[in-house]
Structure 1
């Protein structure tokens, strides 16, 4: 069976209404790949986790990139249980050599996701990155490397 590798980049801290809108579009997009889907994510709160949950829901496999040794500690405490549960369900985990969860580590992780996928899904409002390694930077990297980018930002979505 051929596998199709889809990576995610996207915003964190999205309002619940936006998460519902994004979930519908992600589900529609990812379900077309069926069990041949391999989803790649860093499992940050927000778009990354929503993507990972839907990958598993539609029968795909999950691969995780952990940007830094202290990455989990940098995530909101109320996200740790979801992060741990998804990490435990990953078929593969790649850990980058960074200790601190810095913009440099996040940028390296985003580039690795792009380099490892067939298509990048970007849950993105189209705005510039708020810091190095943000969604816009990862989208730009994918486009510079001729990787297809599927942007999801439904009407009515907001940050």
Structure 2
């Protein structure tokens, strides 16, 4: 039997006070899988994706990463987040880099579509508002629903975007 594969999409601009709230919500969702082996797929963006990666790994899951573009690390990851990004990337069982030379909305959405094609369900750390730009959380949720994937929206009380 194949491992259940859970994907993540979510806001990158969570407030610092939201981090423990989102971490607890993600961990609670993933704990239902703790008795079985679990695989998680993420683009490893700051915020929701990295909180998911930590929770998944803490529960003994296997991390799979999809990078949107060759320059993703240097383009999207803030200098103070590089150590955490690199540490999580080092713990990934697989890393797939999309064939885009530059990061941008098309690369982000293509990476999300790649992730959606490889998962059984999606967790969305989402406040329900429209995407701030093409390839944002709302677009990924819409694409997942269009594919018929189960989507669990997590937005704990007190969570906010910065």
TM-score, structure 2 as length reference: 0.95
1:36 aligned partner: 37
Q: Deviations over 1:52-75 (max 9, x none)?
A: 011000010000001100000111
TM-score, structure 1 as length reference: 0.97
Structure 2 unaligned spans of 5+:
none
Number of corresponding residues: 159
Distance in 2 of aligned mates of 1:133 and 1:122 = 13
Q: Which 4+ stretches in 1 moved above 6 angstroms?
A: none
Distance in 2 of aligned mates of 1:64 and 1:157 = 25
RMSD between superposed Cα atoms in Å:
0.9
1:104 aligned partner: 106
2:73 aligned partner: 72
1:21 aligned partner: 21
Q: Deviations over 1:86-134 (max 9, x none)?
A: 1111001111000111110000011111111000100000000000000
Structure 1 unaligned spans of 5+:
none
Distance in 2 of aligned mates of 1:158 and 1:28 = 19
Check if 1:118 corresponds to 2:125: no
1:8 aligned partner: 8
Distance in 1 of aligned mates of 2:155 and 2:132 = 17
For the residue of structure 1 that corresponds to 2:18, the secondary structure is helix
